[in-house]
Each structure stands twice: as structure tokens, then as C-alpha cells.
Chain A
Amino acid sequence: MTWVFDKPLHTLTHEETVQKSIRLWEAEDLGGMTEDNNRLPVPVVILVLLTVATAFLTTIPLWGQRPTAAIYAEYIKVMDTPEILAIQEAQGDAAAMKRIVEINKGSEFIAAQGRHPVTMDDLRILKPQIEAVMELPAVDLKDYTVVGPIVKIANFEGNFRPNGKRVRQQPWWDKGFLIDVFYLSMFFIGVTVTVKRLPAYHWQPRHHDADPRHGDRRHKP
């Protein structure tokens, strides 16, 4: 069980242990089963790395977020203005809502508003709730989530502000991802150490004399 670290990418095992493993590998009959010692083919390595990158890229909180109350605050400010009320009276709710969206084209929340469109009926339900939140002291509307017809404190637990309130906003890089980085690193280190205890992949077992390939089935990309 000696460990050697002079050629870590080649092997972590003392030569004597390698030879012992090789003898066992070739001599032992596991119910007639045999195993080769091929490395992970390069295209498969690329696929694994691509999976890891994809795992982070497709799951960052930018995608599929619930809307915050902040993105509708500007809508609510203008919904009872004479202009909007006049359009509503003459052409109905849909036209009024269209005009509200046009007025807010320059909003910093334009992308989020686009992903989470609302109707005038929705706004009528949200308005009193958002206004009630705005009356609270030192409030940030981005700390509140709109879940269907309900406005409620968001389910995030960020750092504390100087006033003692928590930030309730999900950063684009969530602490869940930091745990993932740690977890993934430990996994790949663990598996690499395990695999490097085996005889190096250049060696292939010779399973039986009748095999015309003499067990030499190394992957040749």
C-alpha cells in the first residue's frame, strides 16, 4: 500500500504493488469475467468536461427566476394616470397595458418584465400589496417575490445589511454553486487518486491464449 508521488499523473503506487495487482488481474478468475484496463477515451473525457461546464451554465439563477416586486413598481406608478385611464376607458385593458409597457421601455427591468408579462387584472391584484410593502421603512422591493397573485418576502438568505435586515436577493452566483465547486473538486480528486492506484493504462491484461488479440484491446483513437 505504499504511495509514491514522483510521477502523479502516471501512478501513485509503488512498483511492487503494481506488479502484485498485475499478477492478480491476469491470474484471477472472477466467475469467468475479464476486464481490460483502457483509459477513458479522449472524446468521452471531453464530454465529461462539457457536462461539468453545462451543469453550471444552465443552472445559474438567471434562468427561470420568479419575478421580484421591483419590476412591477413602475407599472403601478403609471396605471392610474389620466393617460392610461383614458385609454382603458376608450380601448379596454389590453390597450392600456400595452401603453404601460411602452412608457417603461427604458426601465432597468425591461428584460425581467419581458419574461414575466402581466395583465391589468394582475396589476390590480398586485398594486395594493406592493404599495403596502413600499410603505415599510428601509425597504428594497427586490427583496420581495411575486408568486402568482401574492407578493411575499423572497426565499433567499443573503448577507446582513447595516440596518440588520438580510438581503433577500439571489446573486447570479449562488452559494449553492460554491458548494458544488467544492463537491466536484473532491469527487474528481477522489476518483483520480483511486484510478491512479491501478496499473497505468499502458498495461493491458492478457486474458487467455485463445484470444487472437492476446488481450491487447487498447483504445486506439
Chain B
Amino acid sequence: MILKYLFAKNEAIPVGSAAVFFGFSAIVWFMIGTGLGSFNAAKLAFPDFVTGTEMFAFGHMRQVHVLAVIFGWISMAFAMAMMYITPILGNTRLWSEKLGLWNCMMWNISLLMGLSLMWMGVTSGREYSDFPWPLDLAVAAFISIPLAVNVWMTIIKRRTQGIYTTNWFFAASTFMLIIVFLVGNLPEYFHLTGLTEAYMTWWFAHNVLGLWITPVAAAIAYYVIPKVTGNPLYSHRIGHLHFWSIVVFYSTPAAHHLMSAPLPEWLKSFASVEGVLILVPAIAFVSNILLTMQGKWNMFVENLEVRFTVVGVLLAIPLNMQGGFQQTRSINWYIHGTGWMVAHAHLALLGFSTFLEAAAVYLGLQTLMKRKLYSLTLGNLHFWLLLIGFSTYWISMTIAGLIQGAGKIYEVPYIDVVIAEHPYMIARWLGGTMVFSSTILWLYNMWMTAREGTVIPAGRMPHELAYER
């Protein structure tokens, strides 16, 4: 239905169309991404599961799962948040709904092509930047640049003098994503090899997390908590500390991913200090949001969007404690290349950021479709399945990682390590499958919200109405 607006005049396109398109696309990609994750986890838990077909081999499917989640779920949920929050904060309309719709459609097509090629084995072979170079250029041309143009132009055309904190992050992150994507993929355009390739690969991977996913997820919290609780943001000036420290301290420690590589040691020392300093933006962010909750903690129980957001913010604490210290030489020596890192990556993407994005999608779709959530029960079920599934995954993989670390250091035969971590691989599969199941429920709930959710009267917000089911 939305596709009919692709060739309509911008003024004729209903406000929020692009955001709704992005919102539903994000949930569908989340379902695909977590479904692939569950499938991959099953292969690790039960080695005889689906064998003999090359395309279903773990090596073919792992990166499809990772990029479906990063560029499908997370980034499209971000785009959705930007499409509706940026104009609201500037008291204006999105600069171009039409560009937003085209952006979303081309995004879906590019991602589908990229993931299909990777599934068939056409890949750069570099973790996180696995797309072959033509797809990299397609991502820049059809995904990141149109998104950035729409966000920047909406901010430039705003009807306010000031710019709210959330929009600082949106504007900066969309800009930084373009730089990260184009520079991070240089090894492929120019066939750079060796250490240069390794460093650039991890510069890309680190900054996709640090300059895209982390700040945009935080920006969502800066919007959702004050908006839904009605409290003012606790501190504008702490927002400054957060914003600048994330730009300065998160952009520099890429070398800490390669602590055992023959990079210049001064670069590793520098990166390692900066790596611990990632805790500075984390402290600023968590304190600012939790202090904004003062007097409204009842909403943590009663309101679904606030609950998702606060859990995401709370997960930023273990995330940054792990991230800050696991990259130091002594700890990295033990946990590098083990399941600990897999657990940490899921804490970042499935814990911290997914909870914040889910809050944005819940709030955004209800607001834009002017429909109250179809079922609170399904919403609650989604929340608890996601939280329990994620926690099961995170804890089991952390333990498996510590076992692998011990096995690595004490030179335990590999097969003994595999046997020791088998129960945790089963727990990982169970946790991942719970997350996948919760996403199916979520998609159903949002679909039903669009069709049968109670209409929200003009001038009211979804959280001002009581849940009916």
C-alpha cells in the first residue's frame, strides 16, 4: 500500500509513511536475522543438524545473520526513529517523505541482494564489512547517504532555534556512518592487504558500533524517556559530556581489537586507554537517563516503552564495563577469540541497542498510525521472552567463553573444550530461539495494532491511553 506513494507528490504522501515502512521492515528483518541466528546456533548445538548442503554451512550463514541484524533490524529501526523523531523535535515535517520511502525500498532491495550474494559465498571475507565492493557502494548510495540527507535537511529546515540532544546524535551519526562505511571499506576498493587491511577492517567494525549503533540507540533514550514520562531531561550539560566523549573516545580505540597483532605498540597503548575511557560517555548517558526517571519509576512497571528503554539503558552498564576492560592487554590475552566476545557482541546488539530500538518502534508505530497497541499481553510476552532469551544466550556464551579461554591458555585439546562447552551451546540455541519466537509475536502484535488497535484521538499520545487487551 505504501508503495503507491513512491511516485506521488511529496505533499500528497501522509506524514509518517516512510517511518511506518521502515518500522515494519525493521521488525521483518529482525525476524529473519534472529531466525538465521537460531538456525546457526542449532548447528553449533547439534552438529548433525542440516549437513551436506554448502549453502547451509555455518560459514555461509553466520555473516548473513550478522548483517541482517545490523543493517536490517538495527539500522532500519534507527531510520524509523529518525524519520519521525527528527521532525517532531524541530516542530516541522520530514524534509522528504518521498525520499524516505525510496530510501526504505532501495534499502530493502540492496540488503536482500547483499545478503543473497553472501549466502551464495560472494563475500569480501572481512568480518562486519563482508559485503563485496559493489554492494558497499550500493549501501552508501541507497542507504546511508539518502538517510543522512533527509535527516540533515529536516534539521536545517527546522522551525526552532535550538536543536534537542537527540538530533545532535542523529545528525552526527548519519554523517559518521558515511565516513565509516566509505573509509572502512578502502581495503577492498584498493586491494590493501596485511596489517593495513586488518586495522581498517576493525576500524570499520569498531566504529559501526561506536559511531552508529551506540550513539543512535542512546539518542532514542534521550527522546523516549522525557517524552513518555513527561519529565524534563535531567541535564542538557551532561548531554554535552555524553555527545563529545562518544565522538572523541569511541572513534579512537580500533587497535584494541588487534592487541596481539604486530601493530605499533604505542598505537595499542593509546587505543587501550581510550578503550577504558569509553566508560565516560556510558556514565554520562546512564546517569542522565536514570536521573530523568526521578518520580516516574512506576512507569518502568506500567509502560512498555519505558520498560524497554530503561532495560536497554541498564544493560549499557555491564556492556561498557565489559567493553572497557576486556580490551586491556591482560584480560584480552585470556578472552580474545572465545565465546566471551560473541556474548559481548550480543550484549551490545541484542541487549543494549535492541531494547532501545524496540521502544522506539513501539512508540513510533503507535504514534504515527494513531493506534493504541493491540495487546499489552503480547507486548509483555515479547518483552519477557526477549529478556529471558537474551540473558540465557549472554550468560551461557560468557561461561562458554571462559571455558574456551582456559582451554586456550592451558593448551587443553580442542575436542575436550568442544565437549565441555556443549551444554552452553544448547542453552545458546534455546535463548536465541526464544528471541526469534518473541519477534514473531511482536510482528503479529504490530500488524494487529495497524488493523484493529484503538484509534488514538487527535492531540493525544499513545501512552496517555489505557491498554485495552
Query: Which A residues fall within an 8 A CB radius of B?
Result: 24-25, 28-41, 44, 47-48, 51-52, 54-56, 58-59, 61, 63-65, 155-157, 170, 174-177, 179-180, 183-184, 187, 190-191, 194-195, 198, 201, 205, 207, 215, 217, 219
Cα separation A34 to B231 with both chains bound (whole Å): 8
Q: Can you list 12 pairs linking A and B with CB atoms under 8 Å apart?
A: A28-B161, A29-B160, A36-B234, A38-B238, A44-B284, A58-B276, A59-B275, A61-B269, A155-B263, A174-B265, A176-B271, A180-B270
Cα separation A65 to B227 with both chains bound (whole Å): 49
Given contacts A54-B276, A63-B328, is CB(A201)–CB(B237) below 8 Å? yes
Output the nearest chain A residue to B261 by Cβ-Cβ distance. A155
Given contacts A64-B330, A176-B273, A177-B273, is CB(A190)–CB(B280) below 8 Å? no
Q: Is B269's CB under 8 angstroms from A177's CB?
A: yes
| B90 interfacial by beta-carbon distance below 8 Å | yes
Q: Is A29's CB under 8 angstroms from B273's CB?
A: no
The one of B271, B291, B324 that contacts A41, using a Cβ cutoff of 8 Å: B291
Q: Is A29's CB under 8 angstroms from B91's CB?
A: yes
The one of A24, A47, A54, A194 that contacts B240, using a Cβ cutoff of 8 Å: A194
Give every chain B residue within 8 A of A207 (Cβ-Cβ): 232
| B267 interfacial by beta-carbon distance below 8 Å | yes
Q: Which of B112-120, B128-136, B241-249, B441-449 lies on the face that meets chain A?
A: B241-249
Give every chain B residue within 8 A of A198 (Cβ-Cβ): 236-237
Cα separation A34 to B239 with both chains bound (whole Å): 13
The one of A28, A35, A56, A194 that contacts B160, using a Cβ cutoff of 8 Å: A28
Q: Is A41's CB under 8 angstroms from B328's CB?
A: no
Q: How far is the CB of B92 from chain A (nearest CB, A)?
A: 9
Give every chain B residue within 8 A of A201 (Cβ-Cβ): 237
Q: Is A51's CB under 8 angstroms from B329's CB?
A: no
Q: Is B265's CB under 8 angstroms from A35's CB?
A: no
Give every chain A residue within 8 A of B284 (Cβ-Cβ): 40, 44, 48
The one of A41, A61, A170 that contacts B287, using a Cβ cutoff of 8 Å: A41
Give every chain A residue within 8 A of B91 (Cβ-Cβ): 29-31
Give every chain A residue within 8 A of B249 (Cβ-Cβ): 187
Query: Apart from A35-B164, A36-B235, A217-B234, what 20 extra A-B contacts exist at CB < 8 Å?
Result: A28-B160, A30-B162, A31-B90, A33-B226, A33-B232, A36-B234, A37-B235, A37-B237, A40-B235, A48-B283, A56-B273, A58-B328, A59-B269, A63-B330, A64-B333, A176-B270, A177-B270, A177-B273, A180-B269, A201-B237
Give every chain A residue within 8 A of B276 (Cβ-Cβ): 51, 54-55, 58-59
Give every chain B residue within 8 A of A219 (Cβ-Cβ): 291
Give every chain A residue within 8 A of B264 (Cβ-Cβ): 155, 157
Q: How far is the CB of A62 from chain B (nearest CB, A)?
A: 9
Given contacts A31-B90, A155-B262, is CB(A40)–CB(B269) below 8 Å? no
Most central of A36, A56, A175 by chain B CB within 10 Å? A36
Output the nearest chain B residue to A179 by Cβ-Cβ distance. B270
| B268 interfacial by beta-carbon distance below 8 Å | yes
Given contacts A40-B238, A48-B283, is CB(A180)–CB(B273) below 8 Å? yes
Cα separation A157 to B268 with both chains bound (whole Å): 13
The one of A31, A39, A155, A180 that contacts B274, using a Cβ cutoff of 8 Å: A180
Give every chain A residue within 8 A of B267 (Cβ-Cβ): 176
| B332 interfacial by beta-carbon distance below 8 Å | yes
Cα separation A35 to B291 with both chains bound (whole Å): 12
Give every chain A residue within 8 A of B291 (Cβ-Cβ): 38, 41, 219
Cα separation A198 to B235 with both chains bound (whole Å): 12
Cα separation A106 to B223 with both chains bound (whole Å): 63
Cα separation A29 to B226 with both chains bound (whole Å): 13
Give every chain B residue within 8 A of A217 (Cβ-Cβ): 231-232, 234, 294
Q: Is B162's CB under 8 angstroms from A55's CB?
A: no
Give every chain A residue within 8 A of B294 (Cβ-Cβ): 217
Q: Is B329's CB under 8 angstroms from A183's CB?
A: no
| B266 interfacial by beta-carbon distance below 8 Å | yes
| B88 interfacial by beta-carbon distance below 8 Å | yes
| B400 interfacial by beta-carbon distance below 8 Å | no
Given contacts A33-B223, A155-B262, is CB(A174)–CB(B232) below 8 Å? no
Q: Is B266's CB under 8 angstroms from A176's CB?
A: yes
Q: Is B160's CB under 8 angstroms from A30's CB?
A: yes
Cα separation A174 to B267 with both chains bound (whole Å): 10
Output the nearest chain B residue to A21 by Cβ-Cβ distance. B162
Output the nearest chain B residue to A34 by Cβ-Cβ distance. B232
Give every chain A residue within 8 A of B265 (Cβ-Cβ): 61, 155-156, 170, 174, 176
Q: Is A190's CB under 8 angstroms from B233's CB?
A: no
Output the nearest chain B residue to A58 by Cβ-Cβ distance. B328
Cα separation A11 to B412 with both chains bound (whole Å): 61
Q: Is A31's CB under 8 angstroms from B164's CB?
A: yes
Cα separation A64 to B330 with both chains bound (whole Å): 4
Give every chain A residue within 8 A of B330 (Cβ-Cβ): 58, 63-64
Cα separation A41 to B288 with both chains bound (whole Å): 10
Most central of A25, A28, A55, A63 by chain B CB within 10 Å? A55
Give every chain B residue within 8 A of A41 (Cβ-Cβ): 287, 291
| B185 interfacial by beta-carbon distance below 8 Å | no
Q: Is B277's CB under 8 angstroms from A39's CB?
A: no
Q: Is B161's CB under 8 angstroms from A191's CB?
A: no
Q: How far is the CB of B16 from chain A (nearest CB, A)?
A: 14
Report B267-306 residues with CB < 8 Å from chain A CB: 267-277, 279-280, 283-284, 287, 291, 294
Give every chain B residue within 8 A of A35 (Cβ-Cβ): 164-165, 226, 232-233, 235-236, 239
Report B55-102 residues with CB < 8 Å from chain A CB: 88-91
| B252 interfacial by beta-carbon distance below 8 Å | yes
Give every chain A residue within 8 A of B280 (Cβ-Cβ): 48, 51-52
Give every chain A residue within 8 A of B163 (Cβ-Cβ): 30
Give every chain A residue within 8 A of B89 (Cβ-Cβ): 30-31, 33
